Structure 1
Amino acid sequence: MRAIANIYRLGVKEIYSLLCDPVLLGLIFYTFTFAIYTVANGVQTELRNASIAIVDEDRSGLSSRLAGAFLPPYFKTPEIIDLAAVDAAMDAGRYTFVLDIPPRFEADVLAGRAPAIQLNVDATAMTIAGNGATYVTGIVGAELLKFVGRAGGAVALPVDLRVRAKYNPNLESAWFMAVMQIINNLTILAIILSGAAVIREREHGTLEHLLVMPVTSGEIMLAKIWANGLVIVLAALLSLHVVVEGLLAVPVVGSTMLFALGAAVYLFAVTALGITLSTVATTMPQFGLLSIPVFVVMNLLSGGLTPLESMPATLQQVVQLLPSTHFVKFAQAVLYRGAGIGIVWPQLLATTAIGLLLFAFGLVRFRTALASAK
C-alpha cells in the first residue's frame, strides 16, 4: 500500500510539473489539434487537381472527346501542347500526365486496328502517379467503349464488376490520415514527455531530492509512466471526439473506451522506452536528437502508412518487436471496423509483453542512472 501511495503522489507531482511547463502544454495542444486537422486536410493520397496535357496529333472528334473527358475535381482542365514540347514540359514539372494521341487515331479505331496511345507519367509525384495512371486508363477506356458502341461495335462485357469499399466508402484520405495522425502523435508525445520528465529532474536538481526520499527507482519510473500516459490518453480521446469526429466529420464506429484501454497499454510500453532513452542522453538537445530516429522508424514501419505485406519478409518479422506495429493493428480494427475485445486481444497481449520487456530494461537503466547520480 505504501508503494501504491508513493507511485500516486509522485505521479501527481509529475502532472503538476507538466501543468507548470507552458512549452510542453503548448506542444500537447498543437499536436492533438492543429497538427491533426492540417495533416488530415492537407495530405491527400487520392487523385485531386492533377495537371494533364494532351498532344492531339489526330485532330478528330474522338481525340476531342478524350480531351474533354478529364474533368475536376480529379484533373485540372487539360492543356493542348505540341509533341516537341513534351520533354521540356515534363522536365520542368508543369504536368503530371501527358497523353499523346497519334495521327489517324479515330480512323484506326473504327477500322479495328487497335492503335496505341502513349501516357507519360511524372513518377516523382508518387502519391498520385499510380492512382492517376489508373484513372486515365479507365477514362480513356470508357470513352472508347462509348465511341465504338455508337459506331456499331460490340462493347458488351462478359462480367459486371461491382466494387464495394467497406469502412471508407468514398475512399477519403482524410478519414485515414486523421486517425493515423493521432496514433503517430501518441508515439511521439509518449517518448518526449516521459523522457523530458527525467531530463527535467536532472537539470533542475530534483533528482537528488528523490534519491533521499523513501521511494524506489521502480516507483519513480511507474509514477512517470502513469502520469504522462494519463495526460496523453485524455488528450487523444478529446482529439478523437472534437477534432476527428467534430471538425473533420470522420465517423468513429468502434468503442473509444476500448481504444483508450489499448492506448494505455501502448503508452506503458512507449513511455518506458522514452525513460530508457533519457538515461542515455544527459541534456534535452541530446534526448531530442536521440528520440527522432526512434519514433520515425516506429511510425514508418508500424504498418500505418505502408502495409506490412508489402515489406520484405525478414523485415515483417523484425517489426513484430515494435509495440507500434501491434497498436496500429489494434487501433485500425477498433476505430475503423468496430472490432471488439474478442478480435483485438492478441494485439493487446503482444503490446503488453513488449511493454513489460521495455519496462524491465528501462528499470535497469534507470537504476544505473540513479546510482551514478548519488
Structure 2
Amino acid sequence: MSVIWLLLVKELHSLWRDRFMLGLVLYSFTAAVYIQAYGISHDLHNAPIGIVDGDRSPLSQAITDSLRAPFFQPPVAITAGEIDQAMDQARLIFVLDIPEGFQADLAAGRAPTIQLLIDATALMQAGLGATYIQSLVADEIARFKTGRLEQGRAAVGLQVRVAFNQSLATAWFTGTMALITNITMLSVLLTGAALQREREHGTLEHVLTMPVQPIEIMLSKVLGTGLVILVLTAISLLGILHWLIGMPLAGSIGLFLAGSVFYLFFTTSLGIFLGTLARSMAQLGLLFILVVLPMNLLSGGMTPLESMPEWLQTATRISPTTQYVAFAQAILYRGASLDVVWGEMAATFGIGLLFFVFSLTRFRAFLAAQQ
C-alpha cells in the first residue's frame, strides 16, 4: 500500500503540472454542466408567433391574448400575404390564421377551421408548440361556447399530477446528464492520457526500473483519476446542480457517490485498456471517440431505452454506463434508497471488476513489451 500511495501522489502531481488537462477537467465539471443545462432546452420558451386575425372578434382577441409569455413572444399581427416571407426568413415559428366570420360560424353551430402553420425546422419547439397552441385554442372555444371549460361534461376526469420534477424544468435533467456524461468521458480520458503521457515523456521507463508490480502501477492510476473525478463530481453536484441551477437532490448524495466509485472502477480500467492499445495521444483520442461516444448515446441518458430496438436494448443493458445512468437517475430524481438500486450497483461493480482483471492482463503484456 505504501508503494501504491507513492505512485498515487506521483499521478496527482503529474495532473497538477499538466495545466491544460487540469483546466479541461475543471471546466467540464463546472461551466460545461451549467451551459449544457440551459443551452439544450426541451421546453417551449419565447417562441415567435404571428396572428392573421381575419375575424377581429372578441373570441379571436381572447385566443391572441392566451398566447403569452414565457411560452411565446408577444404575437405579431400580420396579413395573409406576409406569411410566406415571414416564415421563409425564419422570423416566425408559428402562424395562426383565424378566418373571417369565425366567431359567428361557431355561434351558429357550424364547424369553422383555424389554420396553424408551423416551421418544423425548429423541431423541438414545433412539436411542443403545436400541442400547446391547440390546447389553448380549444380552451378558449370551450369557454366561449359554455362560459366555462367543458371539463365537467367529460365522461372521465383526467387529473394530472407531476412527480419528481413538478416544475418540468429541463435544466435539471440536462444538467444531470451532462454531469454523468462528463464523469464517463473524463475518467476514461484522464487515465488513458496519463499512461500515454508517461510513454511519450519517457517516464514510464523510469517507473519500470523501480521495484513495483504492474498491479501497483495500474491501481495508482485508477485510484488517482477516480479520486479527482469523485471530488469534482461532488463539487459539481452540490455547487452547480443544486446551488446554482436549483435542482433539489431527492436522494442520498453519499449513496450516489458510492455508486460512482463502482462506476469509476470500470471507466478508469477502460482508460488503461485504451491507453495500452494506442501508440500516441492522437490514437487515444480516436479510440476514445469510437468507444465512449456510443456508450453515452446508448446509455439511456439522452434517449429512453424503450425507444430503441429490442435487440439493442438487450445489448446495452450489459453496459455499466446504462446501469449507472439508471441508478443515478433513481437516486437523484426519485430519492431511491439502496434496496431499490442495489441490483444496478452490483451489476456495475461486477462488470467493472471483470474488466479490471481483463485490463490488468493487457497492462502486464503492455509493460512487458516496453521493457
Code of the residue aligned with 2:68 in structure 1: it is L
The count of corresponding residues between Structure 1 and Structure 2 is 371
Separation in structure 1 between the aligned mates of residue 151 and residue 229 of structure 2, nearest angstrom: 62
Separation in structure 1 between the aligned mates of residue 94 and residue 139 of structure 2, nearest angstrom: 18
Which residue in the other structure is 2:200 paired with? 203
Cα gap change, 1:277 to 1:151, in 2 (>3 Å)? closer
Which residue in the other structure is 2:258 paired with? 261
Code of the residue aligned with 1:244 in structure 2: it is L
Residues 58 and 102 in structure 1, CA contact (< 8 A), matched pair in contact too: yes
Which residue in the other structure is 1:194 paired with? 191
> Is 1:294 paired with 2:291?
yes
Partner deviation per Cα, 1:143-166 (whole Å, 9 max, x = no partner): 111111139999733333221111
Residues 301 and 325 in structure 2, CA contact (< 8 A), matched pair in contact too: yes
Which residue in the other structure is 1:313 paired with? 310
Residues 100 and 118 in structure 1, CA contact (< 8 A), matched pair in contact too: yes
Which residue in the other structure is 1:117 paired with? 114
- Following TM superposition, by how much is the alpha carbon of 1:353 offset from its aligned partner in structure 2, in angstroms? 2.3
> Is 1:328 paired with 2:296?
no
Cα gap change, 1:251 to 1:152, in 2 (>3 Å)? closer
Matches within 5 A, 1:225-240: 225-240=222-237
Per mean C-alpha deviation after superposition, the further-off stretch among 351-360 and 200-209 is: 351-360
Which residue in the other structure is 2:144 paired with? 147
Using the size of structure 2 for normalisation, the TM-score is 0.94
Which residue in the other structure is 2:340 paired with? 343
Code of the residue aligned with 1:75 in structure 2: it is F
Code of the residue aligned with 2:64 in structure 1: it is A
> Is 1:94 paired with 2:52?
no
Partner deviation per Cα, 1:28-78 (whole Å, 9 max, x = no partner): 211111111222233221111011112223333322221221000000011
Residues 90 and 96 in structure 1, CA contact (< 8 A), matched pair in contact too: yes
Separation in structure 1 between the aligned mates of residue 28 and residue 264 of structure 2, nearest angstrom: 16
Which residue in the other structure is 1:33 paired with? 30
Using the size of structure 1 for normalisation, the TM-score is 0.93
Cα gap change, 1:75 to 1:210, in 2 (>3 Å)? same
- Following TM superposition, by how much is the alpha carbon of 1:83 offset from its aligned partner in structure 2, in angstroms? 2.6
Partner deviation per Cα, 1:6-37 (whole Å, 9 max, x = no partner): 33322222112112221122112111111112
Which residue in the other structure is 1:162 paired with? 159
Structure 2 spans left out of the alignment, 5+ residues: none
Per mean C-alpha deviation after superposition, the further-off stretch among 117-126 and 221-230 is: 117-126
**DSSP-derived class of the 1:221 partner:** helix
Separation in structure 2 between the aligned mates of residue 120 and residue 316 of structure 1, nearest angstrom: 37
Separation in structure 1 between the aligned mates of residue 87 and residue 362 of structure 2, nearest angstrom: 55
- Following TM superposition, by how much is the alpha carbon of 1:85 offset from its aligned partner in structure 2, in angstroms? 3.1
- Following TM superposition, by how much is the alpha carbon of 1:343 offset from its aligned partner in structure 2, in angstroms? 0.6
Residues 52 and 80 in structure 2, CA contact (< 8 A), matched pair in contact too: yes
Percent of pairs with identical residues: 49
Matches within 5 A, 1:216-227: 216-227=213-224
Separation in structure 1 between the aligned mates of residue 357 and residue 37 of structure 2, nearest angstrom: 37
Structure 1 spans left out of the alignment, 5+ residues: none
Separation in structure 1 between the aligned mates of residue 99 and residue 355 of structure 2, nearest angstrom: 63
- Following TM superposition, by how much is the alpha carbon of 1:183 offset from its aligned partner in structure 2, in angstroms? 0.8
Code of the residue aligned with 1:97 in structure 2: it is F
Separation in structure 2 between the aligned mates of residue 101 and residue 218 of structure 1, nearest angstrom: 73
- Following TM superposition, by how much is the alpha carbon of 1:243 offset from its aligned partner in structure 2, in angstroms? 1.6
Per mean C-alpha deviation after superposition, the further-off stretch among 31-40 and 4-13 is: 4-13
Separation in structure 2 between the aligned mates of residue 355 and residue 151 of structure 1, nearest angstrom: 59
- Following TM superposition, by how much is the alpha carbon of 1:330 offset from its aligned partner in structure 2, in angstroms? 0.8
Residues 269 and 358 in structure 1, CA contact (< 8 A), matched pair in contact too: yes
Residues 149 and 155 in structure 1, CA contact (< 8 A), matched pair in contact too: no
Residues 145 and 155 in structure 1, CA contact (< 8 A), matched pair in contact too: no
Partner deviation per Cα, 1:68-106 (whole Å, 9 max, x = no partner): 210000000111223333333323222221222233322
Partner deviation per Cα, 1:118-146 (whole Å, 9 max, x = no partner): 22222222222222111111111111111
Cα gap change, 1:77 to 1:198, in 2 (>3 Å)? same
